[in-house]
C-alpha cells in the first residue's frame, strides 16, 4: 500500500495509473476509521477498482470557529492498519499546510442544497467540504468516489457539484452502517459517555418509527418531544424530498427524515429515506 503526504506526488502517481488504464476509486475520509468507512472501501472493491485511494484529512476549512476541529479524533497508525487490511492500495495523509497554501483564495460554494439543514446551522461547512472534495478529485483522478449516506446532505451537495462543474467521475453513495444497537457509526461517537450512548439510540429508533402517509407537522412534533424526553437537545427534525432537499408536508416513499441533536456537547446526525 502506497502512502502519500505530498499532494503533487499523489497527483503524479494517480495520473500515471489513470493513463495506464487503471480504474481509480477515491474514498475521502477525515480518519479515525470505523466500520462505516471500511464499508466504503468494500464498495470500491466490489466495483472492481484497480486502485483504491483513501484520503485521511481533517479539513480545517469545513469546521466553524466553535466546532471540534482541534479535538477531532486522530489515529494515523490505526488508520493505516485498517486501510491496509481493508484492501486500500494507497492512502493520502496531507497536512493542512500543503493542502492550503498561505494565500489560498479559491473556494466552491453550492448555493441551493447546502443552504438548509446542517448548512444553515454550520455556516461555511459545505463550502469547506466542496472545496476539499474538489481538490481531492483533482489530485486522485478517480473514476468514482464513494461517500456515506450518513452525511445525506453532503452526498447530495457533492453530486450537485459534480453535475454542475462537470467533474468527470461517478459518485457512489453507500448505506449507513449501524452498530447492533442501531447507533449510526461515526468517528464522533468516541466523544460519548456510556449514558450518552444509550440516549443516542433514540435517533435510530425514532427514524425507524416513521411511516408513509402521515402529516409532517404531527410527526415533527412527536419526534421532537420524544428526543427531548430522552434528554437530547434538538437541533433539527426535518422531512425533505430525498433529491431536492425541499420541505415536504406528508411522509411518503422517497422522503428523507433527517435528525440533528446535541447529546451533551456532541452533535449527532442521522437520517432515513422512507
Ligand atoms: O464526510 C467526511 O468525512 C468529510 O466531510 C469529507 C467528505 C472527507 C470532506 O472532508
Q: What is the pLDDT of residues 173-185, one digit of tens each?
A: 999 999 999 999 9
Residue from 124, 132, 134 whose mutation best tests the ligand 1 pocket (most atoms within 8 A of CB): 132
Please tell me the predicted confidence (pLDDT) of residue 35: 97
135 and 214, same domain (yes or no): no
Domain boundary among 174, 205, 221: 174
180 in a domain, yes or no? no
77 and 54, same domain (yes or no): yes
Ligand 1 site, residue 232, Cβ cutoff 6 A: no
Domain count, the chain: 2
* CATH number of domain containing 114: 3.40.50.620
pLDDT tens for 24-70 read: 999 999 999 999 999 999 999 999 999 999 999 999 999 999 999 99
Q: What is the CA radius of gyration of the chain?
A: 19
Which residue matches cell numbers 422517497? Answer: 254
Catalytic positions are 37
Distance 22 CA to ligand 1 centre (A): 24
50 and 92, same domain (yes or no): yes
Please tell me the predicted confidence (pLDDT) of residue 4: 98
163 and 34, same domain (yes or no): yes
What are the distances in angstroms from CA 266 to CA 195, 219, 253? Answer: 13, 24, 31
Please tell me the predicted confidence (pLDDT) of residue 192: 98
pLDDT tens for 13-23 read: 999 999 999 99
Distance 227 CA to ligand 1 centre (A): 27
* CATH number of domain containing 244: 3.30.1300.10
139 and 222, same domain (yes or no): no
181 in a domain, yes or no? no
Please tell me the predicted confidence (pLDDT) of residue 206: 98
Residue 181 in grid coordinates: 444497537
120 and 209, same domain (yes or no): no
162 and 211, same domain (yes or no): no
Task: Give the global pTM.
Answer: 0.97
d(CA 167, CA 149): 20
Are 240 and 258 a contacting pair, CB within 8 Å?
A: yes
Nearest atom in ligand 1 to 133's CA: 9
Please tell me the predicted confidence (pLDDT) of residue 101: 98
83 and 166, same domain (yes or no): yes
195 and 170, same domain (yes or no): no
239 in a domain, yes or no? yes
Ligand 1 site, residue 271, Cβ cutoff 6 A: no
pLDDT tens for 69-107 read: 999 999 999 999 999 999 999 999 999 999 999 999 999
Are 186 and 207 a contacting pair, CB within 8 Å?
A: no
- Local confidence band at 137 (pLDDT 50, 70, 90 cut-offs): very high
pLDDT tens for 193-252 read: 999 999 999 999 999 999 999 999 999 999 999 999 999 999 999 999 999 999 999 999
Question: Which of 58, 61, 50, 56 has the alpha carbon at shortest distance from 37?
Answer: 56
Please tell me the predicted confidence (pLDDT) of residue 117: 98
Please tell me the predicted confidence (pLDDT) of residue 152: 98
Please tell me the predicted confidence (pLDDT) of residue 219: 98
179 in a domain, yes or no? no
Give me the domain span that covers residue 238: 187-273
Are 34 and 7 a contacting pair, CB within 8 Å?
A: no
- Average pLDDT over every residue of 239-267: 97
Please tell me the predicted confidence (pLDDT) of residue 235: 98
CB pairs under 8 A, 24+ apart, for 219-227?
219/251, 219/257, 223/259, 226/202, 227/202, 227/203, 227/259, 227/261
What are the distances in angstroms from CA 226 to CA 43, 187, 247? Answer: 35, 25, 21
144 and 41, same domain (yes or no): yes
Residue 177 in grid coordinates: 452502517
Question: Which of 15, 51, 28 has the alpha carbon at shortest distance from 174?
Answer: 28
Amino acid at each position: 500500500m502506497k502512502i502519500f503526504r505530498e499532494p503533487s506526488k499523489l497527483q503524479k502517481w494517480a495520473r500515471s495509473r489513470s493513463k495506464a488504464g487503471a480504474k481509480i476509486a477515491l474514498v475521502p475520509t477525515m480518519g479515525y476509521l470505523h466500520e462505516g468507512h471500511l464499508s466504503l472501501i468494500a464498495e470500491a472493491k466490489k466495483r472492481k477498482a484497480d486502485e483504491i485511494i483513501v484520503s485521511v484529512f481533517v479539513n480545517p476549512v469545513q469546521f466553524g470557529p466553535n466546532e471540534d476541529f482541534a479535538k477531532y479524533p486522530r489515529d494515523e497508525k490505526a488508520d493505516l492498519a485498517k486501510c491496509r487490511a481493508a484492501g486500500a492500495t494507497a492512502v493520502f495523509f496531507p497536512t493542512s499546510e500543503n493542502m492550503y497554501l498561505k494565500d489560498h483564495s479559491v473556494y466552491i460554494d453550492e448555493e441551493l442544497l447546502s443552504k438548509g439543514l446542517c448548512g444553515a446551522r454550520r455556516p461555511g461547512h459545505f463550502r469547506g467540504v466542496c472545496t476539499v472534495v474538489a481538490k481531492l478529485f483533482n489530485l486522485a483522478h478517480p473514476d468514482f468516489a464513494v461517500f456515506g449516506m450518513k452525511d445525506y446532505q453532503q452526498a447530495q451537495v457533492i453530486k450537485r457539484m459534480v453535475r454542475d462543474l462537470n467533474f468527470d467521475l461517478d459518485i457512489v453513495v453507500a448505506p449507513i452502517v449501524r452498530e447492533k444497537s442501531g447507533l449510526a457509526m461515526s468517528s464522533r461517537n468516541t466523544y460519548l459517555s456510556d449514558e450518552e450512548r444509550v440516549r443516542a439510540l433514540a435517533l435510530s429508533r425514532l427514524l425507524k418509527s416513521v411511516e408513509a402517509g402521515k402529516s409532517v407537522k404531527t410527526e415533527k412534533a412527536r419526534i421532537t418531544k420524544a428526543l427531548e424526553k430522552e434528554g437530547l437537545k434538538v437541533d433539527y427534525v426535518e422531512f425533505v424530498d430525498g433529491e431536492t432537499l425541499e420541505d415536504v408536508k406528508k411522509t411518503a416513499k422517497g422522503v428523507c427524515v433527517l435528525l440533528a441533536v446535541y447529546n451533551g456537547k456532541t452533535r449527532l446526525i442521522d437520517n432515513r429515506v422512507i
